[in-house]
Each structure stands twice: as structure tokens, then as C-alpha cells.
Amino acid sequence: MSPAPAAPSQAHSLISQAYALSVTATIRLAAGVALLGVAAGWTALRRIDLGFILIPILAYVALAAAALAGRHQPLGRRLALVMPFFDLALAFVVHQHGITRFPHYAASWAVSSLGVFTLIVALVGLSLSIRLVVVVTLLSVSAQWLILRGPGITLYSVLVATFTILFVAVATSSIPRMAAAALRRDAQAALTIDSLAQVQAQNQQLELLQREKDSLLEIIVHDMRSPVGAAMLSLEYLVLELKKRPDRAPLLEATDDAVATLNSLSSMISQILDTSKLESGRITLRLDRVEVRSILERALREANPRAASRSITVAMEAPEGLFAALDLRLFPRALEVLTTHLLRHTLEGGRMLMVATGDSREVRLSLHSSAPAIPAAQRDRMFDKFPGADGESRRTSGWALGLYFCRLVVSSHLGTIALEDVDGWPTSFVIRLPGQPRSPAGIFP
């Protein structure tokens, strides 16, 4: 099985580390070659035997060349971890031996040692871990103190050298890491901006699809209204003609039922379009201060014919002088949808009661029915757009879009609708509305 690819940030870190190791290996080899040239030139020009320097430097250059050549191999990477200790050992041996053998050049050896140890610490800080940087820095400071103990080297000079090495260690180890962190933050910010741009593009696409869906829905509703309206006109004309023929009473009754059915179908078509507009917040309510009793009386008049055909008793209890802020286009239709559904689920010979109570702060409309009770586990889904149609929820799927439309209308009035337990009634829908006229804060689905 092939290994999983590294994450982008991890891959970037590995590439950066490999590049740093390559750079430090190159600098180490170049410094070794330069020191070898200086030592050889000094030996040739001054005729001083520096064999004790040339041989270790030559061996070091060979080792540095091997580390550079194998930097991409596992052995080369492991060698890069131990090269700083070879650096320290070579620098300490050469400078310590030089000061001992040529004490009159002690100051020169001191300056040279400080430069070499500083370079070693800088190379480690640029390429290796913090833990290794700390170890190499402590060893460099210790070696520097041992070298500078010679005569003529003041404590002040030793302290300056120490703080110089420490400062270089902090700078070379922290600045590259802070720069890398800044680069990672920039990369993350760029990724976030790109993600936001993609999300924005997706939102724009969704908005376009929503507009297209709304346009298609309006076209469908318009095309559905036309044949329904034509059928209603024909049936209404037929009703007028049948009323002139007393012997056609059964046919007149059937025609009245057909007209009522077409009226319900027309309301359902309007309800589909208004549901879409309520979901998207494209309906601005026109609120009027309305007496609640008149709204219930209207709902009662519309429900009585359907109730009488199934021997269902419908009553109303509402005080006078109880007002609420209502949109007379939407709220009566929502109340009609609710009463229609209740009548549909109420058994023949059952009862319904519409009750209005409240005060200036809250109005409560209760629609009670002797329809079979709905299990508590299914009540939370009853007002959803798609309450489900599997298992026991098939019992409530008949309510479907109607209750969802009622919920949207009531919510747009800053009210709530719920199925509650009321003594003596298996099924009770309760609508709570603000008692004082006020503009709704918004429409939520």
C-alpha cells in the first residue's frame, strides 16, 4: 500500500527544512575551503608550520563535502545532525592549540574563535531544531570561555563574546521560524480567502437557482390558475342555469360541490406560491388592527357547509373588543387551512370549537377538535415542510404543506402555533399572537 500524501503545510515544512540543510551544508563547505586556503596561505607566506591546522581542516572539508553530496539521502541527513559537533570540536582544537603555540597572537585567535563559534551557532539556528540549537549554543559558550581564559583577555571581552553568541543563537533560531509562521499564516489567509470566494460563488449560484425556481413556480401557478378559473366560470354559469330548473336539484348540489372543490384547489395553488414567498421573505405584511371575533366568524361561516355534510358540530367562543394586528390576505387563509384540515381528520358526528381569549398583550386562538389525538413524538414534525411519510408519521403526512403554511404565516405575525394538550379535546391547535399592532421583525422559515 502506498503511503498517504503529506498535507500541504507538512510538505512545505519538509521542503523548507531540506532547503535549509542544503544551504547550511554549502556554507559549511565554503567556510571550510576558505579556512583551508587561509591556513595554507599563511603557512606558505610566513613559513610557519601550521600542519596541526591544515590536516584537521582538510579532513573537515572532506566530511563537509560528503555531507553536501549526500544531503538528499538518509545518511546525509543524519550526518547533518552531527556536523555541528564536528564544527565545535575542530574550532576548539585549532584555536586552543593556536593560542597555546602562538600566545603573542592571542587577540587574533580570540576574534577568530568568536567569528567561528558565531557562524556555527547561526548555521544550527537556521536549519536544526530548537533543542539542538540550545545544546550547540551552550557548548559554543563553554568553548569560548575556555579559549578566552588566556592572558590579556579581560572578563568584559569574555562576556561580550558570550552575549554575542547567545544573541546570534536567538536571532537565527527565532527569526526564520517567525518568518515561516508568517508565511504559513499568509498561506492560510490565502486559503481562507479562496474558500470564501468559492462559498460566495456557490451562494451566488444558489441565489440564481432560487430565482429560477421562483420564476418557474410563478409560471406553473399562473398556468394552473388559468384552467381552474375557466372551469369555475363554467360551473358558476351552470349553477345559474340549474337554479332555473327545480327538477335538477341533485345535479345542482353536485355542481355546488364541484365549485367548492375548485375553490379549494385555487386556494391550494395560491398557498403554494405564498409559501415560497414567505420562505424567501418576499412578502411584506399589511397589518390592520382587526377584531379577532370577526375573523373567527368568517372561518365559522366557511367551515359550516363542510361540517354539516359530515354532521360535525362547529361552535365559536370569542369576546368582543379583542384585537390583534393581522394581514387580512394571509391570516384568514391560514385559519381556513387549519379548520379544513381539522374537519378532514374529525370523524363524522364529531365536534369542533374555535375559542379566542387574551388581552392587550397577547391573543390566544384555540381550535379544538374531537379528531384522534396525534402522538407526542410526532408533534414536533407536524409543522415541518416535509414531516415524513414512513412508519407512524404517515398518520400526520396528510397535514403536510398546510400546517407548514400556517406556521409561516403565524411566524410572520411574530406569533407561535403549536399542538397542545387541552382537557376534553384530543386535538387542539393553539395560536398565540401579540395583542398590540406592531410590525414584524422579519419572516423566518
Q: Is 349 left (phi over 0), alpha (psi -120 to 50) or beta?
A: left
Domain co-membership, 77 together with 137: yes
Pair 263, 333 in one domain: no
**Domain check: are 248 and 113 in the same one?**
no
pLDDT at 368 over 70: yes
Identify the residue whose cell numbers are 542544503.
Answer: 22
**Can you tell me the distance from the alpha carbon of 338 to that of 346, in angstroms, rounded to the nearest whole number?**
12
Confidence of residue 394 (pLDDT cuts 50, 70, 90): very low
In this structure, are 303 and 403 located in the same domain?
yes
- Together in a domain, 263 and 312: no
β pairing state of 362-369 and 351-358: antiparallel
Which residues pair with residue 355 across a beta bridge? 317, 366
Whether residue 172 is contained in a domain is answered as: no
Of 153, 177, 202, the position where a domain reaches its end is 153
Q: Are 401 and 271 in contact (CB under 8 A)?
A: yes
Q: How confident is the model at residue 445 (pLDDT cuts 50, 70, 90)?
A: very low
Whole-number pLDDT of residue 1: 44
The pTM of the full predicted model, rounded to 2 decimals, is: 0.50
Residue 444 region by backbone torsions, left for phi larger than 0, else alpha for psi between -120 and 50, else beta: beta
Do 144 and 251 belong together in one domain? no
Same domain flag for 13 and 121: yes
DSSP string, 169-222: HHHHHHHHHHHHHHHHHHHHHHHHHHHHHHHHHHHHHHHHHHHHHHHHHHHHHH
The grid cell for 272 is 403554494
Q: Any idea what the CATH number is for the domain that residue 358 is in?
A: 3.30.565.10
Q: Which residue has the cell 536571532?
A: 171
Residue 88 lies in a domain: yes
pLDDT of 150:
63
Residues 116 and 231 in one domain: no
- On whether the CB atoms of residues 98 and 109 are closer than 8 A, the answer is yes
Which residues are registered as beta bridge partners of 422? 425
- 109, part of any domain: yes
> In Å, how far are 3, 31, 92 from 443, measured between CA atoms?
52, 74, 80
Residue whose grid cell is 349553477: 239
Three-class DSSP category at 365: strand
| pLDDT in the model for residue 396 | 44
- Angle formed by the axes of helices 155-242 and 106-127, to 10°? 20
- Domain-embedded: residue 183: no
The 10s digit of each residue's pLDDT in 154-186 is 777 778 878 887 888 777 777 766 776 777 788
* The pLDDT of residue 9: 47
Write down the residue that cell numbers 403549536 correspond to.
Answer: 418
Last residue of a domain, one of 258, 279, 300: 279
Any domain includes 164: no
Give the ranges where 48-103 is alpha helix by DSSP (H).
51-69, 74-101
Of 270-284, 321-335, 412-426, give the lowest mean pLDDT range: 270-284
Instruction: Say yes or no to pLDDT of 268 above 90.
Output: no
> How far, rounded to the nearest angstrom, does the alpha carbon of residue 90 sit from its chain's CA centroid?
57
Read off the C-alpha cell for 419.
399542538
Residue 8 is predicted with a pLDDT of 45
CA distance 252 to 239: 6
pLDDT at 29: 78
Q: Are residues 269 and 322 in the same domain?
A: no
* 46-62 pLDDT per residue, tens: 655 555 667 777 777 77
| Adjacent-strand bridge partners of 89 | none
Same domain as 335, residue 255: no
Element (DSSP H or E) covering residue 323: strand 323-327
Q: Cβ(29)–Cβ(65) under 8 Å?
A: yes
**Cell numbers found for residue 337:** 387551512
Give me the pLDDT at residue 388, please: 57
pLDDT tens readout for residues 398-426: 445 788 888 999 999 999 999 998 999 99
Between CA 443 and CA 445 the distance in angstroms is: 7
Specify whether 44 is located in the same domain as 131.
Answer: yes
Domain with 365 in it: 285-434
Count of structural domains, the chain = 3
Return the pLDDT at 438: 43
Q: How would you classify residue 442: left for phi > 0, otherwise alpha for psi between -120 and 50, otherwise beta?
A: left
Residue 353 lies in a domain: yes
Tell me, what's the pLDDT at 42? 66
Q: Which of 279, 305, 339 is the last residue of a domain?
A: 279
Q: Select the more confidently predicted residue: 312 or 22.
A: 312
User: Higher model confidence: residue 243 or residue 422?
Assistant: 422
Q: Is residue 197 part of a domain?
A: no
Spatial separation of the C-alpha atoms in residues 69 and 381, rounded to whole Å = 71
Residues 273 and 293 in one domain: no
Does residue 42 contact residue 109 with C-beta atoms inside 8 Å? no
Instruction: Report residue 355 CA to chain centroid gap.
Output: 45
Say what the pLDDT of residue 15 is. Answer: 44
